[in-house]
Amino acid sequence: MKNLIVVIVLVAAAAVGYFVISGQGGEDAAAMRDDATSEAASTTEAAKDEAAEAVEEAKDAVSEAMEAVGAAAESVVEEATEAASEAVDAATEAATEAANQAVEDVADAATEAADAATETVTEATEAAGEAADAATEMASEAAENASQVATEAAEGAADSASEMLTLLTPEGFDFDKVMAMVDGSELDPLQKTTLKTTLESAKDNPEVLTKVLDQIKAALGL
């Protein structure tokens, strides 16, 4: 580009020189014009050559720049691809380790839960066994107590019935006890009053007393 400017300046200088000397003799002027024209043509041709060379150099520079850019871009792509691959590998490895750890944690938790459940079941079984033993023992004691109470009650009832039968005989008669026996019975009040009044009248008459005592036994279901 600088060479082209120099050429233009030279051409302009030649033109100025031409106009300056145009006032001289025709032959000298013509000779000078021819020389200037020839020189200008030579200069123009040289400028063209330099311009063409500059264009070629520019083309070469652009081509080299494009090649450099392509190489740089290819290098960047390769580096980015490699970095992405490494990142994927690292992420995959981290995810695998995390998954394995999670599986181990879940397995450990499940084992602990199973152990705790087994221990709880064992304790519950032992407690149930102890409770069953205690219940069996209590039931046995209750049965024994109930049997004893029933036996005593039966014996007491038998003794009481025997005593009542004795009191309702002329030989074992006791007026106050028989009156109390009638009062403590489940007979209706009117029947109680009738029996007690009859007993009161017959207590001093053995023949009548026997009949009254039989009435009382029948009324009491003895």
Q: What is the pLDDT of residues 9-67, one digit of tens each?
A: 676 666 655 655 555 545 565 665 677 667 767 776 876 788 678 768 868 875 885 78
- By C-alpha distance, which of 201, 196, 206, 195 is closest to 173? 206
Q: Where is the domain boundary, 36, 65, 82?
A: 82
Note down the domain range covering 177. Answer: 168-220
Q: How far apart are CA 208 and CA 200, in angstroms?
A: 11
Q: How far apart are CA 137 and CA 135, in angstroms?
A: 5
In a domain, 139, yes or no: no
Domain count, the chain: 2
In a domain, 75, yes or no: yes
Q: pLDDT tens digits for 58-117?
A: 688 758 857 874 676 477 547 846 864 685 477 457 646 864 685 477 557 646 855 775
Q: Where is the domain boundary, 82, 103, 134?
A: 82
Q: Where is the domain boundary, 82, 117, 132?
A: 82
- By C-alpha distance, which of 4, 6, 32, 7 is closest to 17? 32
In a domain, 118, yes or no: no
Which amino acid is located at 120 in the chain? Answer: T
In a domain, 54, yes or no: yes
Q: How far apart are CA 45 and CA 164, in angstroms?
A: 170
In order of 3, 37, 49, 183, the CA distances from 14 in angstroms are 17, 8, 20, 174
H helices within the chain, ranges in order?
2-21, 26-167, 175-183, 189-202, 206-220
In a domain, 55, yes or no: yes
In a domain, 87, yes or no: no
pLDDT at 132 over 70: no
- Per the structure block, which two tokens stand in for 127? 């407690």
pLDDT at 217 over 90: yes
Question: pLDDT value at position 191?
Answer: 95
Q: How far apart are CA 78 and CA 71, in angstroms?
A: 10
What secondary structure letter does DSSP report for 24?
Answer: S
Question: pLDDT value at position 72?
Answer: 62
In a domain, 130, yes or no: no
Q: How far apart are CA 85 and CA 78, in angstroms?
A: 10
In a domain, 72, yes or no: yes
Q: How far apart are CA 44 and CA 25, in angstroms?
A: 27
